[in-house]
Amino acid sequence: MTATNTVNAAADDQRVIAAIAEALKNIQFGAVEITLHNGQVVQIERKEKFRFQSPPTRTS
C-alpha cells in the first residue's frame, strides 16, 4: 500500500466512523445495521422506532 492509499484509507475510515456516529445520534429505540462486503463497510442502515405509551386506564 502506498502512502497515498494509506491516507485515502484513513480518510475513508473517518467518514465511516462519522456516518456510524451520526446514525447513532439521538436514537432512543431501534437498530443501526452495518453491512460489510470483503471487510469494507458498504452500507449503514438506521431503523428507528417511536414508542407511544397508552394513557393509564381509569377504574370507577
Residue 58 lies in a domain: no
Residue 55 lies in a domain: no
- Number of compact structural domains in the chain: 1
Who has greater pLDDT, 46 or 3? 46
Residue 41 lies in a domain: yes
Q: Residue 19 belongs to what domain range?
A: 3-49
pLDDT at residue 2 greater than cutoff 80: no
pLDDT at residue 59 greater than cutoff 80: no
What does the pLDDT read at residue 1?
60
Which residues in the chain belong to E strands, given as ranges? 29-37, 40-49
C-alpha cell at 34: 452495518
CA 41 to chain centre: 11
Residue 45 lies in a domain: yes
Residue 10 lies in a domain: yes
User: What's the angle, vertex CA 47, arms to CA 10 and CA 23, rounded to 5?
Assistant: 30
Residues 9-58 have pLDDT tens digits of 778 899 999 999 999 999 999 999 999 999 999 999 999 999 888 777 77
Residue 59 lies in a domain: no
What does the pLDDT read at residue 9?
75
Residue 12 lies in a domain: yes
